[in-house]
Structure 1
Amino acid sequence: MARNQLRPLQQMAYQKRMKTYFVKEKLMVEEAPFRYDNLEGKVFAEEDGSKVYVNALNDAMNILKNRKRNENSPLGIDVPESKRPSRLHPGHPALLTMDPETFLELANQVTKLKMFPYFDIAHSAITVLYLREDLGPRALEFSRKHPLACYVSAMLQIFAGGIIASALLGEPMLGPFKNSGQLMIATAVWYFIFYMPFDIGYKITKVLPIKVVLAAMKEIYRCKKVHDGVTHAAKIYPQGILAMIVIGTVKGNGGGFIKIIDRLVRGVWTPAAMEFLVPSFPTKACLTAATIFVLDKRTELISAPHSLVYFGIVIFFVYFKLSSLLLHIHDPFVPFENLVCMFFFGGIWDTVARLAGRKSATEETNGKMETKSDVAKKKE
């Protein structure tokens, strides 16, 4: 094999009596006057006591070594010689590099992921878990006394995005419940977390590794919902950019917008929990993702393939969710919001006004003190 591959290249060498062969993934060269430099990894000839490297033969060696390397590499990745030891162990950083075609193929696979049933289970589990935490320490007592209210509240939270989006688009609000498979999964998860013996369902879901996996899967599910919301709104309102962004945001975080109704079902009225008053990070993230999807679909501002845009948003969602769970970084948008409010929503002018008011008040106080001192001097 090596001889056949080298035959057209050997004609460029300086001697025809050249033999090459592989020994333990190293190309060795025999027949004087050529020698193999183990340090440089090149073939040279000795002339007048100095090394003269044979460029033609070294080019042939590089081609063969690259072919041999790609055949033996576990991932088929071309790793530079400077970063490749004699044998790569599976965790070597050189094997972690990924060529663009492989990365694009991975992105295409992510866009084609089927949400049913595993991602639906993760979405339902995390949603019901947050519902139970919202109920507080009396969650079990409430679920025993008011099982219907608890069930309706859970279903409202799980299918919130579809319910609100249907209402905004003039579609049947019960449309999200038409899939009996999703409804059965949501019901089973609700029962598992609230009514399992010894509360084992809630305890299992609360285990950190399990919760992290479920949360990551839910974020992938969230990205899918945002994308589907933008696509669905684009079919109804082809030129309605605002409608696409709103529906995508609502589909991605419907639980935040339906929170008031959800709590009202449980007998609690909290108007201050309106999502428009204090938007949560999922709402901001869904708004950002919906805007990016709209720009990708309706403009030429984003030149990357759609699958890469989708995969990037998935990474964005999963990364910040795991940062919230593990590192307690709850809202990375806050610094940008403060900066925008400072320059565009009156923050800088309010600061200038306060400084000016403080200066005028100081001058007025000093003037009064000077007047009092003048009066005292006149009396004396």
Structure 2
Amino acid sequence: MEEQNNFTAEWLLSTDVWTGLAHYYVSLPLYPVFQTVHFILTAVALRSEKGSLQFAFKHPIASCVLTFIVACAGGILANMALAKPPLESVVNGWNVFTCIVVWYLIFFSPLDLCYVLTFFTPLKLVLLLVEELARAKKIYAGVTLAASAYPNSLLAMAVVGMFKGSGKRWGITIFRLSCDPQSAGQHELLQISFATKAAFVCGAVYAYNQMTLLIDPPLLVLVCAVVFVSLRLCLFFTSMVDPFSLPQGLSWKIMTSLSHTPREIVQQEPKTSSKHEQLSKQRHKTNKQKRD
């Protein structure tokens, strides 16, 4: 029994095992599993937007096209940042077909069955965890793509990786402009989500490792995927929304502690007439009453 336990421990701690698992994980294609899950969560997020269902019934083609644009926003933004054709994401016809089918099932399935099923806790948890596994791979793909164009720019690689990992959050603004223009002001730049922050940090780590090669890149991707999955589990089972909010708020308070706070704009009250003018008006009123 002890020999079996020792063999299991040695197998789990073996570097070759984790390296082989990391290379297998990185070599997995995004389609069909990862992309289909991404399309499902994108359609569910858009369906939850205000006025999205009425917009889909009134303008189905526009709703379908916008859903696909939001789902592929990461690739579109990354290609634009690298001066490449933005429509490279449309080349794969299977992605387009899968997105159309998913959009139809989420928006128009009988009795909203498909949309309701996505809120079933076990299924929702599985979808979210698969999305995090895909996010780590997409960020790595973005950093690798940017490294060929900007090999010495850590910031450029991190930004492109961020776009690939959280492009959906940036693309939702386009959908809001069509469905509910009043809510279009709630875009990602003003209210940065945890997914965007985590994608940027992960992209910076990938970019630094790309320039220094301290760790085997596939092994680092596997480590980041485990971190993403662990954070998603913590966020799912707790009331925490953004783990970066506390250190971000404290650091900003420290940085602005010595600066002057802006004065509140006080609305000026309308100027009242002087006492002399009030008395003259009152006399004029009494004289008019006496004449009458």
> Normalising to structure 1: TM-score of the pair?
0.63
Kept after mapping to 1: 8 A contact 2:170/2:188: yes
The aligned residue for residue 364 of structure 1 is none
Kept after mapping to 2: 8 A contact 1:248/1:290: yes
**What's the CA shift string for 1:274-329, capped at 9, x where partnerless?**
322221101100000000000111026xx333232111111122222222222232
Question: What SS does the corresponding residue of 2:49 show, helix, strand or coil?
Answer: helix
Question: What SS does the corresponding residue of 2:215 show, helix, strand or coil?
Answer: coil
The aligned residue for residue 230 of structure 2 is 319
**What's the CA shift string for 1:75-113, capped at 9, x where partnerless?**
94258xxxxxxxxxxxxxxxxx82133333333332222
Separation in structure 2 between the aligned mates of residue 149 and residue 266 of structure 1, nearest angstrom: 10
- How many Å apart are 1:139 and its aligned residue? 4.3
Separation in structure 2 between the aligned mates of residue 282 and residue 78 of structure 1, nearest angstrom: 34
Q: Which of 49, 67, 81 matches 1:168?
A: 81
Q: Which of 253, 263, 277 matches 2:176?
A: 263
Question: What SS does the corresponding residue of 1:276 show, helix, strand or coil?
Answer: coil
Question: What SS does the corresponding residue of 1:331 show, helix, strand or coil?
Answer: coil
The aligned residue for residue 37 of structure 2 is 122
Question: What SS does the corresponding residue of 2:29 show, helix, strand or coil?
Answer: coil
**What's the CA shift string for 1:195-241, capped at 9, x where partnerless?**
11111111122211111111111111111111111111111122222
Separation in structure 2 between the aligned mates of residue 193 and residue 259 of structure 1, nearest angstrom: 17
What is the letter of the counterpart of residue 13 of structure 2?
A: D
Unaligned runs of 5+ in 2: 262-292
- How many Å apart are 1:267 and its aligned residue? 4.8
Kept after mapping to 2: 8 A contact 1:127/1:158: yes
The aligned residue for residue 132 of structure 1 is 47
More strand by share: 1
Deviates more, 1:282-291 or 1:103-112: 103-112
Is residue 258 of structure 2 the alignment partner of residue 349 of structure 1?
Answer: yes
Q: Which 4+ residue blocks in structure 1 deviate beyond 6 angstroms?
A: none
More helix by share: 2
Kept after mapping to 1: 8 A contact 2:176/2:184: no
**What's the CA shift string for 1:9-32, capped at 9, x where partnerless?**
xxxxxxxxxxxxxxxx7xxxxxxx
Of structures 1 and 2, the larger Rg is shown by: 1
Q: Which of 100, 110, 135 matches 2:14?
A: 100
The equivalences for 1:167-316 within 5 A come to 167-299=80-212, 303-316=214-227
Separation in structure 2 between the aligned mates of residue 77 and residue 306 of structure 1, nearest angstrom: 26
What is the letter of the counterpart of residue 225 of structure 2?
A: V
Question: What SS does the corresponding residue of 2:86 show, helix, strand or coil?
Answer: coil
The equivalences for 1:357-368 within 5 A come to none
What is the letter of the counterpart of residue 88 of structure 2?
A: G
Is residue 250 of structure 2 the alignment partner of residue 339 of structure 1?
Answer: yes
Deviates more, 1:207-216 or 1:270-279: 270-279
Kept after mapping to 2: 8 A contact 1:153/1:263: no
Kept after mapping to 1: 8 A contact 2:74/2:167: yes
- How many Å apart are 1:146 and its aligned residue? 2.0
Q: 1:78 to 1:200 in 2, by over 3 A?
A: closer
- How many Å apart are 1:120 and its aligned residue? 0.8
Question: What SS does the corresponding residue of 1:174 show, helix, strand or coil?
Answer: helix
The number of residue pairs the alignment matches comes to 260
Separation in structure 2 between the aligned mates of residue 256 and residue 78 of structure 1, nearest angstrom: 41
What is the letter of the counterpart of residue 152 of structure 1?
A: V
Deviates more, 1:276-285 or 1:164-173: 164-173
What is the letter of the counterpart of residue 175 of structure 1?
A: E
Q: Which of 71, 77, 80 matches 2:8?
A: 77
Percent identity between the aligned chains?
A: 29
Unaligned runs of 5+ in 1: 1-24, 26-65, 80-96, 355-380
- For the aligned residue pairs, the C-alpha RMSD in angstroms reads 2.2
